[in-house]
C-alpha cells in the first residue's frame, strides 16, 4: 500500500527519514501539518521493535 502526503507550502523535508504529523483524509492520503527531520541514519530495526513493544498487549498500561 502506498500513502500520499500532501505537503504544506513551507515544508522542509531534507532528510532520508522524516516523521510526518498530519490529518488522515482517506486510506491513501494524509495532509501534512508538521514534519520532523530525523536524519539519514535511523536504526529502523530499533524503531520497529519499539513500535511492536508499545502495542504488545502484555505491556499495555505499564509503558504509558
Q: Domain extents for the chain?
A: 4-59
pLDDT (tens place) for every residue of the chain, 64 residues total:
899 999 999 999 999 999 999 999 999 999 999 999 999 999 999 999 999 998 999 988 777 6
Instruction: Supply the pLDDT for residue 64.
Output: 65
Instruction: Supply the pLDDT for residue 60.
Output: 81
Instruction: Supply the pLDDT for residue 39.
Output: 97
35 C-beta neighbours (distance < 10 Å), count: 20
Instruction: Supply the pLDDT for residue 1.
Output: 84
Q: CA-to-CA distance for 14 and 39, rounded, in angstroms?
A: 8
Q: How is residue 52 written as a grid cell? A: 511492536
Amino acid at each position: 500500500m502506498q500513502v500520499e502526503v500532501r505537503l504544506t507550502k513551507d515544508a522542509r523535508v531534507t532528510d532520508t527519514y522524516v516523521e510526518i504529523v498530519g490529518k488522515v483524509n482517506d486510506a491513501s492520503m494524509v495532509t501534512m501539518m508538521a514534519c520532523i527531520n530525523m536524519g539519514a541514519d535511523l536504526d529502523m530495526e530499533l524503531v520497529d521493535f519499539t513500535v511492536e513493544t508499545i502495542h504488545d498487549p502484555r505491556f499495555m498500561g505499564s509503558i504509558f
